[in-house]
Amino acid sequence: MSKLLVVESPAKARTIKKYLGKDFVVMASVGHVKDLPVERMGVDVEHDFRPEYIVVKGKTKVLKDIKAAAKKAEAVFLGPDPDREGEAIAWHIREEIKKDNPHVFRVMFHEITKRAVSDALGRPGDLDMDKVESQQTRRILDRLVGYELSPLLWKKVMRGLSAGRVQSVAVRLVVEREREIQAFVAREYWTIDVDLDGGVSPRFLARLTHIDGKKAEVGAAAEANALVERLRSISPYVLKAVEKKERKKNPPPPFITSKLQQVAFNRLGFSAKRTMAVAQGLYEGVELGEEGAQGLITYMRTDSTRVAADAIEKVRGHIASAFGQDFLPEKPNFFASRKGAQEAHEAIRPTNVDLTPQKVRQHLDRDQSLLYEMIWQRFVASQMRPAVYDQTAFVIECGAYTFRATGSNLRFPGYLSVYGVEEKDEAAGGVDGKNGNGEAGEIVEELPDLHEGARLKLMDVKPEQHFTQPPPRFTEGSLVKELEEKGIGRPSTYATILSTIVDKKYVEKKENRISPTELGFVVTDLLVKSFPKIMDVAFTAGMEERLDEIEEGKTPWLCVMRGFYGDFAKWLKTAQAEMKDLKKEEKPTDIKCERCGGAMVIKWGRNGSFLACSKYPECKNTMEYKTGPDGKVAPVPKEFVDRKCSECGAQMVKRRGRYGEFLSCSRYPDCKHVEPVTTGMACPEGCGGSVVRLRGRGGRSFFGCTSYPKCKFISWYPPIAEKCPDCGSSFLVEKTTKRDGSVVACPKKECGYKRPKPEAAPA
């Protein structure tokens, strides 16, 4: 009889099957096979929060096939991912098949290589029910919060909204950051640099740091100009001190999940979701030609920096042979993991350090190649010697004025030889070349070889005006960093949190920065007022610690559930009675209705707040509005376009809705004719129509013709009014692929013409 191995994904199953041969049947569960029902709560709070698990839609056949295979198998090995979710999947499968086959074992694959798979199957264990209960507790908590808060928001704000125990706190962080930015008042300040010549090349700049022994603070142009005139008129400038020291820059630890997402965003521009999808593929296995399929990295959901002893031994051997003994520390480098990290896992590293990025590049797509190279380089760098800099500082005096210049030369590159120079605060996204409070830092440049007491010639005085900067908006990288530092969520949840709050329209991404929408502000304020504990960062982080304690067997899961739900039920009852009802709320304004002269009021609708006539339903006039810096509300003037309504002949205006811009009759709502906004490109079919962006039933946008249905032109990619030079197609398209990046291509698959898309010119 053969043995049965069940893993999560088909890709992992295909890779492992090639290692095991005919003695094993390898099947994939394709994720969870059972879960709470979608259409109802599925949790019996009256009977110790008993969950109701049902077969996930579309998984009936998968589960049936697994059960049939289990009946015939000598033994069943359950090998879903080595985390809470994987343990829950294994448990659900065991519960379904244990009557058919009692010989059920749990195996864990931290990497998908022939050796690792063989080792895991050679020492099978049992399911970790503490881990199962931790996952179940999280699932029930999230279900209770989501399914009981969301209907409240439907009732008070609008249908279709959702709230989440963790996602709502993440939105709160974004909202609070935006309010810090709105409240920020810029402060003017000046830096004064002197251009000096010591008679030896090169000339250098030194910055004014002290006046009469006190820190130099120059706050206005008049003060700066007076200082410039004073500094030009005095002498001598004398090099009072030369400070020399060695500075070491230690290598970073190998990646954990959060740092992988942060650095992938900053170096590669990958979203957290994209990073995890690519990493999943690298973990599950890639075909490497004659070498066959192999997982290239270890498991990618981890918060531990631990590395297996044999992996350290191999990477040290690689460093010695590839870079030389000078780059190899006497002893391996070890890094501390954060408190509560799951040390059973390793850091994210290549499964075989000898598979360099150059060796595997031809077998990977573009995203896989970029991410694997980054992971490989970071791991190798983590076991190398520090980079060593010779740092020199000049302290210069001229009367009551003190200046400082700093020079830094790389003496030994160490780990930088493989990982490259890190940008300032790389993991967090940086603050656009300035330090945290928006002030310019010290000058670092090459300095001449001078000795103390040297007299310097003043060549120029260079004042520069600055303004303090508000805190930056979050990027995906810096928001993951914030969530990690505050203990919100866990490695497996960061990508889901970010994609959820964007998909639910609570935040939006513009130029890679995340800002709250009006909906995000409104819902956050309502939830903070009615559920201060649920929305409290410390409370949410504390709940993550309780879940960790359940996994470690320190706390019974029912104790956590009872403690949480007792308070939550009270808060919910109070909120149902007291939470502000935005659907019914009307804020008066002093704006008059342009149609009937009635007072306009601010109301809330599915596209946000708007101005409506207070005499509704007799008068159905509505208008967009804006709020000025003084808080005063003013209507947004209608943006008329050079087009007449095809139904009533009135002028058309441009409006904005939930799916972007569109054209509407200026007599709306009396005339409800609407049209999409044209791209300005004539239809390539030559029908006389124009190309417009449209939206299909599933929400996906596409490009079509204004003459539809007479003209059937359609393109899923933005069209370009240019003929294909190879096949003569009447248009080309802009598209982005994993392998080629952004390209201009022919829409005809059989043609294959493509060229790199030119980068936009800088503004």
pLDDT in tens, 484-508: 999 998 888 899 999 999 988 899 9
From the list 567, 526, 570, the residue with the least C-alpha distance to 163 is: 526
DSSP state of 346: P
CATH of 3-127 given 3.30.1330.90, 3.40.50.140, 3.50.50.60, 1.10.3720.10 = 3.40.50.140
pLDDT, position 48: 94
Residue 59's SS3 state is coil
Residue/partner pairs of 226-235 with CB below 8 Å, 24 or more apart: 227/192, 227/463, 228/192, 228/461, 228/463, 231/192, 231/194, 231/398, 231/401, 231/458, 231/461, 232/458, 232/461, 234/398, 234/399, 234/401, 235/398, 235/458
More confident: 34 or 422: 34
Show me where the domains of the chain are located: 3-127, 137-178+478-578, 188-250+388-467, 257-385, 587-756
Q: Please give the Cα distance from 423 to 633 (Å, whole number).
A: 43
Residue 371's SS3 state is helix
Check if CATH label 3.40.50.2300 holds for domain 188-250+388-467: no
pLDDT in tens, 530-548: 999 999 999 999 999 999 9
433 pLDDT exceeds 70?
Answer: no
Percent of the chain residues past pLDDT 90, beyond the cut: 72
How many other CB atoms are there within 10 angstroms of residue 684's CB atom? Answer: 21
More confident: 618 or 669: 618
From the list 213, 207, 239, the residue with the least C-alpha distance to 461 is: 207
- Is the N-terminal amide bond of 472 cis, ω within 30° of 0? no
Q: Please give the Cα distance from 511 to 153 (Å, whole number).
A: 30
User: What is the overall mean pLDDT for the chain?
Assistant: 90
- The predicted model gives 315-323 an average pLDDT of 96
Check if CATH label 3.40.50.2000 holds for domain 257-385: no
Q: Please give the Cα distance from 404 to 208 (Å, whole number).
A: 7
Q: pLDDT-derived band of residue 62, with 50, 70 and 90 as boundaries?
A: very high
Residue 589 φ/ψ, nearest 5 degrees: -135, 170
pLDDT, position 762: 38
Q: pTM value?
A: 0.80
428 pLDDT exceeds 60?
Answer: no
DSSP state of 444: B
Q: pLDDT-derived band of residue 256, with 50, 70 and 90 as boundaries?
A: very high
How many other CB atoms are there within 10 angstroms of residue 83's CB atom? Answer: 21
DSSP state of 71: H
Q: Please give the Cα distance from 371 to 201 (Å, whole number).
A: 43
How many other CB atoms are there within 10 angstroms of residue 579's CB atom? Answer: 19
- 8 Å CB contact between 264 and 494: no
- 8 Å CB contact between 692 and 678: yes
Q: Please give the Cα distance from 161 to 521 (Å, whole number).
A: 13
- CATH class of the 137-178+478-578 domain in this structure: mainly alpha
Q: pLDDT-derived band of residue 436, with 50, 70 and 90 as boundaries?
A: very low
Is 401 designated active site? no
Percent of the chain residues past pLDDT 70, beyond the cut: 94
Tokens of residue 39, six digits: 């259409």
pLDDT, position 343: 57
Q: Please give the Cα distance from 685 to 373 (Å, whole number).
A: 45
Q: pLDDT-derived band of residue 350, with 50, 70 and 90 as boundaries?
A: very high
User: Residues for the chain: how many in total?
Assistant: 763
pLDDT in tens, 85-114: 999 999 999 999 999 999 999 999 999 999
575 pLDDT exceeds 90?
Answer: yes
434 pLDDT exceeds 70?
Answer: no
660 pLDDT exceeds 70?
Answer: no
Q: Please give the Cα distance from 197 to 396 (Å, whole number).
A: 12
Catalytic residue among 237, 283, 299, 372: 299
CA distances from 370 to 505, 555, 655, 680 (A): 30, 42, 41, 37
pLDDT, position 437: 41
Q: pLDDT-derived band of residue 621, with 50, 70 and 90 as boundaries?
A: confident
pLDDT, position 299: 94
